[in-house]
Structure 1
């Protein structure tokens, strides 16, 4: 049976797309899944993190990683899905051919949304693209600040975008925590620390929820 393909997509840059893809990959690996990551974002941030992780782990990152572009994307993803339980695609932050291919290849599209007006408006092209390709989309509230009136109002606006089964909203939320960026600088993930942290608990909960929703 082919593995599940999760495309992390968001048309707005700086939404935490690559950070989410990296941490989820490690969380799924820790759940005993064989994982492959695919970087088709021209910025190559996921590939740079993988290089840091290679150095930090003595060349044993724990998962397969490839960086590809263009027409080779779909064939490479299909090949990886035959050999791995989970394939995570970090897609480009713009509506272009590679982004469409990444969405088309997905079992489930994961779209991080920060509770900000700009992110709220910017997620609509991703919603439209998923609808055009007839793919389910899961909105994930990302970098959620401590409770504040404006945050609550924006979270409510994101909830209004959910229209099951095509568009769902994850129950697990990712807080605005420096640990997510800090651990990536060392090539690691929040779930790999010895001490159980809120960041680790959040990411593990989201990883488990996405697997459950994908079936």
Structure 2
């Protein structure tokens, strides 16, 4: 059976797209999945984290992380999904050809969105792109502050965007950045932490949604 292709997309910068990609990839790998990550974002933040990861004393070999140019995405995905359980794409934050192709080839497009009016309004462009490419979308509430009335209100507004919203929400947690600075994912650095449990749950939910999609 071919692996599932999951693209992380969000045209608004600063929504936590690459952070989400890194922690999800590690969560799947930690759960025994064979995972490859394609970094096609010109900022190459994920590739920088991968280089740091390789310098660790224990040098984890999973997930497999590769930086490629956007025009190669479709052909590369066709090959990789034969050998991997999950092909995860960290797409660039714009609607040009590379991002469009990454959305087009996906079984599921995961869109991180912070509970703020600016993120709400800016996310519509990403949803429009997914609709144009006939791609299934899962919105993920990211960096949710604890006990926030605004978060509750924004959660209701986000639910009206017309796309499915993940049941698992991600809190605004320092541990996520700390793990990345160590070249690790949160499910490696602190699997029993609240953040670790959130990402383990989200990884299961996303993969289930991709399978249904």
Fold match by TM threshold 0.5 = yes
Deviation at 1:70, TM superposition (A): 3.0
Between the aligned partners of 1:116 and 1:61, the Cα distance in structure 2 is: 37
The answer for the alignment partner of 1:44 in structure 2 is 44
Task: Specify the SS of the correspondent of 1:83.
Answer: coil
Residue 41 (structure 2) pairs with residue 21 (structure 1): no
- 4+ runs of 1 displaced by more than 6 Å? none
Task: Specify the SS of the correspondent of 1:26.
Answer: helix
The gaps in structure 2 that reach 5 residues or longer are none
Between the aligned partners of 2:178 and 2:151, the Cα distance in structure 1 is: 24
Paired residues of 1:3 and 1:85 also in contact (CA < 8 A): yes
**Aligned CA distance change for structure 1 residues 151 and 38 (closer, same or farther; 3 Å):** same
Task: Specify the SS of the correspondent of 2:55.
Answer: helix
Between the aligned partners of 1:191 and 1:63, the Cα distance in structure 2 is: 13
Residue 147 (structure 2) pairs with residue 175 (structure 1): no
Between the aligned partners of 1:116 and 1:18, the Cα distance in structure 2 is: 19
**Aligned CA distance change for structure 1 residues 138 and 119 (closer, same or farther; 3 Å):** same
Residue 131 (structure 2) pairs with residue 131 (structure 1): yes
Instruction: Tell me how many residue pairs correspond in the alignment.
Output: 211
Q: What's the TM-score once normalised by structure 1's chain length? A: 0.94
The answer for the alignment partner of 1:6 in structure 2 is 6
Between the aligned partners of 2:164 and 2:93, the Cα distance in structure 1 is: 21
Residue 88 (structure 2) pairs with residue 91 (structure 1): no
Task: Specify the SS of the correspondent of 1:127.
Answer: helix
The answer for the alignment partner of 2:77 in structure 1 is 77
- In angstroms, what is the RMSD of aligned CA positions? 1.2
Cα distance per residue 1:134-168 (max 9 Å; x no partner): 0100000000001222222111111111x3xxx21
Residue 109 (structure 2) pairs with residue 109 (structure 1): yes
Paired residues of 1:143 and 1:177 also in contact (CA < 8 A): yes
The answer for the alignment partner of 1:207 in structure 2 is 203
Deviation at 1:58, TM superposition (A): 4.4
Paired residues of 1:6 and 1:109 also in contact (CA < 8 A): yes
Moved more, 67-76 or 55-64: 55-64
Deviation at 1:57, TM superposition (A): 5.0
Deviation at 1:61, TM superposition (A): 2.7
Moved more, 189-198 or 199-208: 189-198
